[in-house]
Amino acid sequence: MCRNIRRLYNFEPSATSAEVEAAALQYVRKVSGTNKPSKANEEAFNEAVHEIAHITAHLLDSLVTTAPPKNGLKKQPRQRPARPSAMAPPASP
């Protein structure tokens, strides 16, 4: 349904309000089980997104850490373990 919510805390530059809002939207979509609410539920859905974004921004502003901030602009490549080659000779005992 929706992609994973990425971490927003302890990055430099810090998370923007748009990123916080997007994370709140992903959360509400996941919890409600819908990507687009019906007209009857649209107001409650949008209000939940707004409130969660506000609370999340407050949380991010309140957290304290001694760890240095990570670079939010640079994507870290995923490290995959090396796969043993199917053609490699068996190891000697």
For 10-62, write each residue's pLDDT tens digit: 677 777 889 889 999 999 999 999 999 999 999 999 999 999 999 999 998 88
Domain assignment present for 14: no
Residue 79 has pLDDT above 70, yes or no: no
Domain assignment present for 23: no
Domain assignment present for 66: yes
pLDDT value at residue 74: 56
Domain assignment present for 64: yes
Count of domains for the chain: 1
DSSP 87: T
Domain assignment present for 43: yes
Distance CA 76, CA 70 (A): 10
Other residues' Cβ atoms within 10 Å of the Cβ of residue 20: 20
Residue 89 has pLDDT above 70, yes or no: no
Rg (CA), the chain: 20
Res. 76 pLDDT band, cuts 50 70 90: low
Segments forming the whole domain that contains residue 64: 35-73
Domain assignment present for 1: no
The closest alpha carbon to 25, from 6, 46, 41, belongs to 46
Domain assignment present for 67: yes
